[in-house]
Amino acid sequence: MAANNIAKTVGKLAIVAVGMFAFVFVVMVPLYNTLCDVLGLNGKYSGKQYEVVQANVDKGRSVTVQFVAANAEGMPWQFRPVEASIVIHPGAVNTIEFYAKNITGSDMVAQAVPSFVPSRSAQYFHKTECFCFRRQPLKAGEEATLPVQFIVDQDLPAEVTNITLSYTLFDVTAMDKASKGVANR
């Protein structure tokens, strides 16, 4: 009788323990990513392509967008924005370019990770085309200009007059090999 009750208690607790382990993977990680995405937290960018919606261009307002390029540790490529900054009007479609060159003697794959300052501007910064949506392979010695097409939302809070978009370039050659065939997130 007592042994039976003990087994019941242990069974329930074991389910809780296994459930909490699963909770980390199936709830916490997706929930965190979704929340960051929806709330525009952490300057985190969804990586999703923005569908262009016809909107009026707010000619009366100007916003300076600055571009910063950085290499993650161990990343030898040359990487820089072609223009350091541009002045845009909210609602207008803009295109700018980054320059990258693989200066090494071997083929490599890179992934650019964006970040915004101020971080809340992330949710008002819509990219219709970006090299950061996918991994960027470059052969040994190859160079490329990498376009970004974007629209700054008209709902951008009035006090934001300056947005800095920064890309950090990571070497994902090894990761790319390991996950070949697995769709990118």
Partner 1 sequence: MGEHHHGPAKGLTRWLYTTNHKDIGTLYLWFSFAMFILGGSFAMIIRAELFQPGLQLVHPEFFNQMTTMHGLVMVFGAIMPAFVGLANWMIPMMIGAPDMALPRMNNLSFWILPFAFAMLASTLFMQGGAPNFGWTFYAPLSTTYAPPSVTFFIFAIHIMGASSIMGSINIIATVVNLRAPGMTYMKMPLFVWTWFITAFLLVAVMPVLAGAVTMMLMDIHFGTSFFSAAGGGDPVLFQHVFWFFGHPEVYILILPGFGVVSQIIPTFARKPLFGYASMVYATASIAFLSFIVWAHHMYTVGLPVAGELFFMYATLLIAVPTGVKVFNWITTMFKGSMTFETPMLFSIAFVFLFTVGGLSGVMLAMAPVDFQYQDTYFVVAHFHYTMVAGAIFSLTAATYYWLPKWTGRMYSETMGKTHFWLSFFAFNLTFFPQHFVGLAGMPRRIPDYALQFADFNMVSSIGAFFYGSSQILFLFNVIRTIRSGRPITDPKVWEGAQGLEWTVATPAPYHTFTTPPEVK
* Residues 90/58, Cβ–Cβ less than 8 Å: yes
Closest CB to partner 1 among residues 21, 129: 21
d(CA 91, CA 69): 25
Report in angstroms how near the CB of residue 32 gets to partner 1 at its nearest.
Answer: 5
In this structure, what is the dihedral angle of CA atoms 162, 63, 83, 185, given to the nearest 10 degrees? 70
Closest CB to partner 1 among residues 150, 167: 167
What is the binding site for partner 1 (CB under 8 A)?
Answer: 2, 5-6, 9-10, 13-14, 16-21, 23-25, 28-29, 32-33, 36, 39, 41-44, 47, 72, 111, 113, 119, 168, 170-172, 174-175, 178-179, 184-185
Closest CB to partner 1 among residues 65, 132: 132
Report in angstroms how near the CB of residue 18 gets to partner 1 at its nearest.
Answer: 7
Residue 128, by phi and psi: left (phi above 0), alpha (psi -120 to 50) or beta? alpha
